[in-house]
Chain A
Amino acid sequence: MDHFQNPRNVGEINAADGVGEIGNPVCGDMMTFYISVKDGVIDDVKFKTFGCGAAIAVSSMVSEMAKGKTLDEAMTITNASVAQELGGLPANKMHCSNLGADALHRAIEDYRKKQGEEA
């Protein structure tokens, strides 16, 4: 509930190193993650979420879990680990935890793709 009432890291990063988006408004859930990467480590994360209480809490938790991790470490953040960090989610809200981890992974993939193109 704390992550829902006081979500951390809400916002956007202009010209972010990586952007990951998932979901769509029709489903009632949409998340966009922005990451800033220095020396292979995620040094800043921001997100915006359109979604229920669980979706907001999940986004906030994912953003906290990702900060300071290397890209590979961040890719290992899973739906289950997010739910666990939050102290569990009701069964019908587990799909919200999927979105959080997936959106972060997409941001990392986006960063890697950008790096790949430049290299």
Chain B
Amino acid sequence: MREVYLENHANTRIDERVLAVMLPYFGELYGNAQSIHSLGAKSRDAIERARGQVAGLIGGRESEIYFTSCASEANNLAIKGVAEANRQKGRHVIVSEIEHFSVLNAARRLGQQGFEVTLLPVDRYGLVSPADLRKAIREDTTLVSVQHANPEIGTVQPLAELGRICREKGIAFHTDAVCTAGIVPVDVNSLEADLLTLAGAQFYGPKGAAALYVRKGVRIVPQIDGGIQENGRRAGTENVPAIVGFGVACELIQREMEANALHLLHLRDRLVRVLPEKIPHLYINGHPERHLPNNINLSVEFVEGEGMFLFLDQKGIYVSSGSACASKALKMSHVLTAIKVDTAVGQGSILLTLSKYNTTEDVDFLLAEFPPIVAKLRDMSPLYSYFQKTGQRRVAGPGTDYEHEQEENREDG
């Protein structure tokens, strides 16, 4: 069966060249990088080589790169590590309301420990306003974290502007660049970033290694205590194969990013143009111009996301959805909620993210299979039949939540 993988924001397929360089480090080069014998030295050298490759991708220095097991860990290190290091100066941190959960929940944890957290709102495209940031900054603010782009709706933030404001005020500025590094050019100096998170699994590297860039001079409290790995800032035996793979992925993508982006844009533009032609009442979310080249987030009215997702899955097309039913928490995506997508429409959301491995045939296949799936679900939908008969949308009426509220009221009363 043909398989079309369109969930590349979660993870990409590893490049064969990356895998080839990694393999010996599972086999004969199995030394622990901290060991002082010659076998260990080979692992250590490999890690340092990777460190240089990662630094090279983002315009930082080798000594400023810290390897972690994943991007979530890097985000936790940034948020908690910087906040804790500056406790005496102040206890206020600012993050955008559409950050990845690893940033939001790390900030929430700080909020439970005597810090105050301000969430910056976003507009209907998902953009953070520099004016809002300026207003939110206080005397006791010590950290601002805003993602370079949003992995769900693809909107790219005006980071340099935000970074400059932080620099003016002497506040540390962190950015989660997981969905931009390796996709579009990322330079810590142009972005005015003091800290930056990136992960190779987004650009054809392996899972199991990510990095936090920490500009020289920025104070940070380690979150994993133990041995002296990563210059004392992150203990734990290094995942040598994954780090090696991460480094190679960085080196390859530096050369190939531009050609990849052109390919992605070509496929993406086709989807953005043709899908609304084939499927009426379909809306594309996120900013129309400031948008990641590999991302299409769409809402299909009158049908529900998980239903579409399951039918696509059966056809071998792998996507994700921001609807409540599709999430384990049964809540609609916090990003779609923040950009104020109509809640009923937001339930019909599908996210497609492309990689260099997707082809025009993949796109043709999706364009052939998706419209009939939507038609089938619309035939089943009471919302669609109401719309067809009356030209109106059904408004929320008595429903499960409503009923439960009534029951609770009756019990209390």
Residues of A within 8 A of B (CB): 4-5, 7, 10, 12, 21-32, 48-56, 92, 95, 98-99
With a cutoff of 8 Å between Cβ atoms, the chain B residues found around residue A53 in the complex are 306-307, 310, 325
Within 8 Å by CB of B380, from A10, A23, A28, A92, lies A10
Closest chain B residue to A25 by CB distance?
Answer: B344
A30 touches B380 (CB 8 A): no
Q: Is the interface of B mostly helix, strand, loop or mixed?
A: loop
B379 touches A10 (CB 8 A): yes
B397 touches A24 (CB 8 A): yes
With a cutoff of 8 Å between Cβ atoms, the chain A residues found around residue B16 in the complex are none
- In the complex with contacts A10-B380, A28-B325, A29-B325, A5-B344 CB distance below 8 A: no
B399 touches A26 (CB 8 A): yes
Q: Does B36 contact A (CB under 8 A)?
A: no
The 7 closest A-B pairs by CB, nearest first: A52-B325, A25-B344, A24-B399, A52-B306, A48-B382, A28-B347, A24-B396
B400 touches A12 (CB 8 A): no
With a cutoff of 8 Å between Cβ atoms, the chain B residues found around residue A32 in the complex are 382
B382 touches A21 (CB 8 A): yes
A75 to chain B, nearest CB (A): 18
With a cutoff of 8 Å between Cβ atoms, the chain A residues found around residue B303 in the complex are 50
A50 touches B302 (CB 8 A): yes
B382 touches A52 (CB 8 A): no
With a cutoff of 8 Å between Cβ atoms, the chain B residues found around residue A31 in the complex are 382
Within 8 Å by CB of B344, from A26, A52, A55, lies A26
B325 touches A12 (CB 8 A): no
A33 to chain B, nearest CB (A): 10
B161 to chain A, nearest CB (A): 36
A26 touches B396 (CB 8 A): yes
CA gap between A12 and B383 in the complex, in Å: 13
With a cutoff of 8 Å between Cβ atoms, the chain A residues found around residue B330 in the complex are 92
Within 8 Å by CB of B324, from A24, A27, A30, A48, lies A27
Could you list 14 A-B pairs, sorted by A, with CB under 8 Å?
A: A5-B311, A10-B380, A24-B394, A24-B397, A24-B398, A24-B401, A25-B383, A28-B304, A29-B304, A48-B382, A49-B381, A50-B383, A52-B306, A92-B330
Q: Which of A4, A12, A51 has the most CB of B within 10 A?
A: A51
Q: Does B38 contact A (CB under 8 A)?
A: no
B357 to chain A, nearest CB (A): 28
CA gap between A47 and B314 in the complex, in Å: 24
Q: Which of A22, A24, A50 has the most CB of B within 10 A?
A: A50
With a cutoff of 8 Å between Cβ atoms, the chain B residues found around residue A99 in the complex are 400
A28 touches B323 (CB 8 A): yes
Within 8 Å by CB of B347, from A22, A25, A95, lies A25
With a cutoff of 8 Å between Cβ atoms, the chain A residues found around residue B343 in the complex are 25-26
Contacts A23-B399, A52-B306 known; list 5 others, CB within 8 Å: A4-B307, A25-B383, A29-B325, A48-B381, A52-B323
A56 touches B399 (CB 8 A): no
A99 to chain B, nearest CB (A): 7
A91 to chain B, nearest CB (A): 10
- In the complex with contacts A48-B380, A51-B325, A92-B330, A30-B307 CB distance below 8 A: no
CA gap between A7 and B380 in the complex, in Å: 9
B400 touches A52 (CB 8 A): no
Q: Does B328 contact A (CB under 8 A)?
A: yes
With a cutoff of 8 Å between Cβ atoms, the chain B residues found around residue A28 in the complex are 304-305, 323-325, 332, 347
Closest chain A residue to B325 by CB distance?
Answer: A52
- In the complex with contacts A48-B385, A53-B310, A27-B401 CB distance below 8 A: yes
B304 touches A51 (CB 8 A): yes
With a cutoff of 8 Å between Cβ atoms, the chain B residues found around residue A7 in the complex are 380
B316 to chain A, nearest CB (A): 15
With a cutoff of 8 Å between Cβ atoms, the chain A residues found around residue B310 in the complex are 4, 53
Q: Does B30 contact A (CB under 8 A)?
A: no
